[in-house]
Structure 1
Amino acid sequence: MFRQVADRVFRILTSEADGRVCKDLPEEACRRQPENFCKHVLSLILTKTADGLIDPKLVLSWLMTVLGAPAAYIGMLVPVREAGALLPQLFTAGYLDSLPLRKYAWAIGSFIQGACAAAMGLAVLWMEGEALGAVIIALLALLAVARSVCSVCYKDVLGKTVDKSKRGTATGAASSLAAGLVICYALLIASGWVDRLTLVTVGLMLAALFWSLAGGLFWTLTEARGSTAGGGNPFKIALKHTSYLFTDRQLVLFILTRGLLTATALAPPFMVALGAGASGNGFAGLGWLVLASSFAGLSSSYVWGRLADHSSRKVLLLAGLLGGVALIATSLCAFYEVLGTAWLLPVLLYTLMVAYQGVRLGRSTHLVDMADVEKRAAYTALSNTVIGVLLLMGGGFGLLANTYGELTVILVFSLMCFASMAGAFFLHEVQDD
């Protein structure tokens, strides 16, 4: 039954009359491609929806703000999530690349993420204040490490189970459908039909269920045994090529620009905290904020991607400008005490998240295009190592907020965005090289 449905869905999504024609898959993998394709799509829909249900930038920061967690913990959400998903890859990628079957590692990583989400939901029911903050941060750190395992394994499994002319369709379809589900969730929160704290807690439990289902589904993929040679340990690669940080001015400028632009990722929890204080109702705008964030990705990613193919340098420059404008506007609205206006914070967050999408697409495109084949692995490892450390240090912004308030932190982030424009200005037009 599933095979028949999978064949039909595969033909609809890929516009293929025959799902058994492959360019770079062996015969057995090609024969099972429609089933594997649908399992990939379903698994990604589940995990990407789960990501939206626990979004640390918005959902977890709202929960911790409303339940009285200190600003220091709220400020650690994004650094722990981002660095936790990035830095472990430097040490685990070599081992994971040596596994002949990597679907099991991905599935276990998904199960662990589900367990962490369930534990967060229970913590929200039983705890508050500093204790809740500490538990959420610890669980988020474990979830991020599990996510890093999935990230390392996924592309290899995809490459062995779905033909190269269909991979973008699988991930793109899943991303669009997941975004639609998250938007529905955001609208439900915004409607006020259900108690919002209850709804968000249920969302955490649903995320746990989705990750568990995705892990079980991924476990059943038909994956051929692959190379066990491994791709090398990225941390050792980074150490081996540290000399590039002293000899390659363009690489240093790129890392500096990317480091300053982390402000676009770090700022949302502090915007949430400012908005909660300004409105006097901790959950009033959560649904609109989640909606604004989701819609920013849907409406801007394609445009940024097209622009990055022409000039990734200008994308980074524009993203820095847009992020700086959004954050300085947030500071001014907070200073003049108008941030509590119902529509204002969602509009500001939408603008910032559009900038964030530009940063993501601009930096990835620029790094790939600036490095030749021989240097690409070294540049990626060096960049990820430095940025991972900077993100961990970003937890210090929570301490700054505890001492001087969220408004001060937002001002600092706006300055970082504007300063990134100087670095981006001096980057080469690598698409013209």
Structure 2
Amino acid sequence: MSKQTTVEQVYEAINSGDDGRVCKDIPEQACDHQPKNVSTHIVSLASTKVADGLIDPKLILSWLLSALGASTFLVGLLVPIREAGALLPQLFTAGALRRLPQRKWAWALGSLVQGLSVVGMLLSAIFLEGKAAGIVIVVLLGVLAIARSVCSVSYKDVLGKTVSKSMRGKVTGLAASVASAGVIIFGLVLASGYVERMTLVLIALGVAATLWIFASLMFTKLEEAPGATEGGGNPLEVAKKNLSLLKDRQLLLFISVRALLIATALAPPFMVTLNGNGGIENLDSMLGGLGALVLASSLASFLSSYVWGWLADQSSRKVLLLSSIVAMVALGTTVFLAELDLVRHSIVLPALLFVLMIAYHGVRLGRSTHLVDMATADNRAAYTALSNTIIGLILLTGVGFSAIAQYFGHVVVLAVMAVMCLLAALLSLGLKEVQE
């Protein structure tokens, strides 16, 4: 009996306990390459997820722009551009990408562009400052977001063609777990204070760029059989053709709740820079400063995602309701303590961010589960395309929060977002229990 390679050992460890039908729903030639493909997916996906955490626009890039002296307006643009940029381009490119015989090349190119974009951010942070650094980094984040949208569209198709259905959850789950551990370690190093924070953040950008480029090269080694180019309809056209679906009161209500809850994604940068120009010094005087914030965010994801997922399977409506209330409490408390000038003390801000990020992950899991379960096989694609189109457009209006912060202050923005979460909670009461 020949000695197993490391790739084969990893594959068998992941696939232990399977009933042997691992190749039932993929091409025969893909079955022959399962060990290699599974390992390639895990390494590539984990690398990009770690890279995502190392440049997190909600925390890392927000902190970096503030440290470089960029305006509050530019800091406030980060998350809307990142979120909308990763969503809206899919409406125009999805059809063309799905017509490619081998979509691994699209994913590899997208990962490469993301890595090169972060190289540009790193050089900007080293050689520029103030408004110039802020503008360049925001523009590069837009390029990164578009490249990410290409990866997002192509990845699910590649996964479906190269990895058996019985293993896809294990592959993505293991990659996510590895990435969470990596970001938690980064947060601990930041919080330790052993390395000067700006230096460590710049190193993190360099590591993130390297990981994206490495993932791009790794993914080209994937054994993907050509074919399956049919079904490349453009989601934008689907959305336009199905505007009449908004007559469905439940769909309209769901989109309204989801739109209001974009506050959970947009709020963190305004919390990070809550104290204005003195925010960085105030953060550094806290326990671990930025490290504590990164740690709070990554731990929230690690600890809450499974619980929210389990609850969503029972009642996605209640998950949306509960996460709305939790977000409202977190943001409302932040506003209250900011008015009392107490957010700079001890671990108050990291604790508040931890609670908000728990709500954020609840929103993500609740909304995806609710949309899938409320739709039928006949209208699910149309519901998804229409919902994503509307939310993508609404996210672009998120830049308005930057203007509000510039003229009225961060506290006002966070107060508005707390009210949005309250309205989302009230509207979610009208959603049906679609799991029933």
User: What TM-score range do you get, normalising by the shorter chain?
Assistant: over 0.9
- Aligned twin of 2:306: 302
The one-letter code matched in structure 1 to 2:267 is: A
- TM-superposition CA deviations, 1:382-411 (whole Å, max 9, x none): 110110011110011001100000010000
Instruction: State the distance in 2 between where 1:41 and 1:80 align.
Output: 28
Q: 1:369 aligned to 373, 381, 398, which one?
A: 373
* TM-score, normalised via structure 2 length: 0.96
Instruction: State the distance in 2 between where 1:87 and 1:410 align.
Output: 25
The one-letter code matched in structure 1 to 2:146 is: V
**Are the counterparts in 2 of residues 278 and 339 from structure 1 also a CA contact under 8 Å?**
no
**Are the counterparts in 2 of residues 19 and 33 from structure 1 also a CA contact under 8 Å?**
no
Instruction: State the distance in 1 between where 2:275 and 2:186 align.
Output: 20
**Cα offset for 1:25?**
2.1
The one-letter code matched in structure 2 to 1:88 is: P
The one-letter code matched in structure 2 to 1:270 is: F
The one-letter code matched in structure 2 to 1:9 is: V
The one-letter code matched in structure 2 to 1:255 is: I
- Aligned twin of 1:61: 62
- TM-superposition CA deviations, 1:247-282 (whole Å, max 9, x none): 111111000000000000000000000157467345
Instruction: State the distance in 2 between where 1:417 and 1:2 align.
Output: 57
**Are the counterparts in 2 of residues 103 and 219 from structure 1 also a CA contact under 8 Å?**
yes
**Are the counterparts in 1 of residues 66 and 280 from structure 2 also a CA contact under 8 Å?**
no
Instruction: State the distance in 1 between where 2:227 and 2:298 align.
Output: 36
- Aligned twin of 2:389: 385
**Cα offset for 1:129?**
1.1
Aligned length: 431
- Aligned twin of 2:252: 252
Gaps of 5+ in 1: none
- Aligned twin of 2:409: 405
- Aligned twin of 1:76: 77
Instruction: State the distance in 1 between where 2:385 and 2:263 align.
Output: 21
Instruction: State the distance in 1 between where 2:3 and 2:153 align.
Output: 28
Gaps of 5+ in 2: none
Instruction: State the distance in 1 between where 2:237 and 2:184 align.
Output: 41
**Are the counterparts in 1 of residues 54 and 183 from structure 2 also a CA contact under 8 Å?**
yes
- Aligned twin of 1:39: 40
Instruction: State the distance in 2 between where 1:321 and 1:215 align.
Output: 40
The one-letter code matched in structure 1 to 2:268 is: P
**Are the counterparts in 2 of residues 48 and 178 from structure 1 also a CA contact under 8 Å?**
yes
**Are the counterparts in 2 of residues 62 and 282 from structure 1 also a CA contact under 8 Å?**
no
**Cα offset for 1:97?**
0.5
- Aligned twin of 2:271: 271
**Structure 1 residues 21 and 80, CA gap change in structure 2 (3 angstroms):** closer
- TM-superposition CA deviations, 1:15-71 (whole Å, max 9, x none): 158989422123221111011000100001100000000000000000111211111
Q: 1:431 aligned to 419, 422, 435, which one?
A: 435
**Cα offset for 1:89?**
0.2
**Structure 1 residues 87 and 7, CA gap change in structure 2 (3 angstroms):** same
**Are the counterparts in 2 of residues 275 and 345 from structure 1 also a CA contact under 8 Å?**
no
The one-letter code matched in structure 1 to 2:7 is: A
Instruction: State the distance in 2 between where 1:17 and 1:361 align.
Output: 27
The one-letter code matched in structure 1 to 2:366 is: G
**Structure 1 residues 362 and 335, CA gap change in structure 2 (3 angstroms):** same
Q: Percent identity?
A: 55
**Structure 1 residues 336 and 376, CA gap change in structure 2 (3 angstroms):** same
**Structure 1 residues 278 and 153, CA gap change in structure 2 (3 angstroms):** closer
**Are the counterparts in 2 of residues 29 and 160 from structure 1 also a CA contact under 8 Å?**
yes
- Aligned twin of 2:350: 346
**Are the counterparts in 2 of residues 279 and 340 from structure 1 also a CA contact under 8 Å?**
no
**Structure 1 residues 396 and 107, CA gap change in structure 2 (3 angstroms):** same
**Are the counterparts in 1 of residues 321 and 429 from structure 2 also a CA contact under 8 Å?**
yes
**Cα offset for 1:243?**
1.0
Taking the TM superposition and a 5 Å limit, the aligned residue runs for 1:89-100 are 89-100=90-101
- Aligned twin of 2:142: 141
Instruction: State the distance in 2 between where 1:50 and 1:198 align.
Output: 17
Taking the TM superposition and a 5 Å limit, the aligned residue runs for 1:278-293 are 280-283=281-284, 284-293=288-297
Query: What RMSD over aligned residues (CA atoms) do the two structures have, in Å?
Result: 1.6
Instruction: State the distance in 2 between where 1:369 and 1:376 align.
Output: 9
- TM-superposition CA deviations, 1:199-242 (whole Å, max 9, x none): 10010011000000000000010001121123300000000011
**Cα offset for 1:422?**
1.5
**Cα offset for 1:3?**
7.6
